């Protein structure tokens, strides 16, 4: 059963839609020392034609602006992270579609409505939001834009997974005006729990790239929040995650980024969007714990100890 609520008039275009009522006990609860604005570390520049479903969000707040990513899921709807638009009205958000650049090209459209699924900022739980655009995406107006279907479960063996966006390209560095992509490896839920604690395997998926240099690993970073974790298989692409949170030092050894699984919320989302495209990619097996090295596990335990010493 899905429950709908309308927000107060200050956010009159936004409303809440709950996923599966009552399933909050195993939601991920990150410690204080996290960054919920992940970015691209160790990526390569790509054309929007390589990922035509990616969009850039500009979020205005007073005299400042923030940036996030998102993914096209139908001709009028975008999926992004709830923490990107938390406390914002639809009129504060604009979406650039069909461009490899964050600051030019493609077409910029406004947002008519915001839908959030019981987002809890203290725990970054249910970090997913749906944006209804005020203009429909079409092949004639937007030749470089198309929707991506949700992927179910884990990607199958032989698939390749990526995240992409315009966020920071190094810790403390600057954002990229050009679209960047980085390849990631999916972690098992149990291995991710060793780092982040109470991760929900049904609601969340974890990933980290290969070593870039020294103790720095390929990763997402600030400014990429809300962007996609997507996997390709036999020429098809599917959306498996939404960039949610990660360590303050992006690309930390043994510390994966955490992504919200959109497939968990699919039935509720379809009550808003109508029927969405179905992915042809088969469901893959569970990721074995052996995919995480002992060195990474030791690094994770060290990080947890470090966080605890700060807190206590």
The catalytic residue positions are 83, 127, 225
Compute the distance between CA of residue 274 and CA of residue 279 in angstroms, rounded to an integer: 16
Strand partners, 16: 5, 116
3-state secondary structure of 59: strand
Whether 151 contacts 279, CB under 8 Å: yes
- Alpha-helix residue ranges (DSSP H) falling in the chain: 82-85, 189-196, 266-273, 294-311
What is the phi/psi pair of residue 11, to 5°? -125, 55
| DSSP β-bridge partners for residue 70 | 55
With a CB cutoff of 8 Å and minimum separation 6, the contacts of 271 are 2, 17
Contacts of 102 (CB under 8 A, 6+ apart): 56, 67, 96, 166, 175, 176, 177, 179
């Amino acid at each position: 059963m899905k429950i709908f609520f309308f927000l107060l008039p200050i956010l009159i275009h936004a409303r809440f839609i709950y996923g599966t009522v009552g399933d909050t006990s195993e939601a991920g609860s990150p410690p204080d020392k996290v960054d919920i604005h992940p970015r691209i570390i160790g990526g390569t520049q790509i054309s929007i034609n390589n990922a035509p479903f990616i969009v850039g969000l500009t979020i205005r707040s007073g005299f400042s602006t923030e940036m996030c990513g998102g993914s096209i899921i139908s001709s009028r709807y975008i999926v992004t992270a709830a923490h990107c638009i938390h406390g914002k009205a639809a009129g504060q958000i604009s979406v650039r579609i069909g461009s490899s650049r964050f600051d030019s090209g493609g077409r910029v459209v406004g947002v008519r409505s915001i839908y959030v699924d019981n987002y809890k900022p203290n725990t970054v739980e249910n970090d997913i939001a749906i944006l209804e655009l005020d203009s429909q995406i079409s092949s004639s107006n937007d030749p470089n834009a198309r929707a991506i279907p949700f992927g179910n479960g884990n990607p199958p063996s032989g698939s390749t997974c990526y995240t992409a966006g315009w966020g920071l390209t190094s810790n403390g560095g600057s954002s990229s005006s050009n679209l960047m992509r980085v390849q990631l490896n999916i972690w098992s839920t149990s291995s991710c729990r060793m780092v982040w604690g109470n991760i929900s395997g049904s609601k969340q998926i974890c990933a980290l790239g290969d070593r870039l240099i020294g103790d720095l690993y390929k990763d997402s970073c600030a400014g990429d929040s809300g962007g996609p974790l997507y996997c390709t298989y036999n020429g098809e692409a599917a959306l498996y995650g939404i960039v949610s949170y990660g360590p303050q030092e992006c690309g930390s050894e043994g510390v994966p980024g955490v992504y919200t699984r959109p497939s968990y919320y699919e039935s509720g989302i379809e009550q808003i969007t109508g029927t969405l495209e179905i992915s042809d990619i088969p469901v893959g097996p569970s990721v074995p714990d052996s995919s995480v090295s002992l060195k990474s596990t030791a690094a994770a335990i060290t990080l947890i100890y470090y966080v605890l010493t700060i807190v206590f």
